[in-house]
Amino acid sequence: MESDTPTPMNSPTKRTTNKVLLSSVCKKIAKQLKLPKDVVYEVYRAIPLHIVDALKQKKSVVFENLGVFTPHIMRSNLPHVPDTYKIRLKASQKLKTTMLKLATDENRQATPETIK
């Protein structure tokens, strides 16, 4: 099982953490829920399609404990430049709190402002 999500690139200003492969995440979830791994993988593959469908209808998509996906259209002042569509994810407070706790547990300095 391979992900069709692009691999994040390293940047001088941002640090990329170690990667977790989709297949291992699906395997862990399948074991935890006692479901076939293929079923979990297909659900994973379907979720982004449904998010995009809702965003096309100019709806926000709320994932409890994760955050809210919202569509944004960036219009140009130049007539020949087409609109740019962006998706924003605002992390939930629970996710921010969890990440802050993890950062604190690993003796990293983190504040809620750095997690936003």
> Quick check: is 84 in a domain?
yes
**Residue 4: pLDDT band by 50, 70, 90 thresholds?**
low
- The pLDDT tens digits of the residues spanning 9-61 come to 555 666 666 777 888 889 999 999 999 999 999 999 999 999 999 998 999 99
For the chain, what's the residue count?
116
> Quick check: is 50 in a domain?
yes
For residues 47 and 26, membership in a common domain is answered with yes
Range of the domain at 111: 61-116
Number of domains in the chain: 2
Distance CA 62, CA 68 (A): 4
- The residue ranges of DSSP E strands in the chain, in sequence order, are 61-63, 67-74, 84-91
Provide the 8-state DSSP code for 31. Answer: H
For residues 65 and 37, membership in a common domain is answered with no
Question: What are residue 62's phi and psi, to 5 degrees?
Answer: -105, 120
> Quick check: is 67 in a domain?
yes
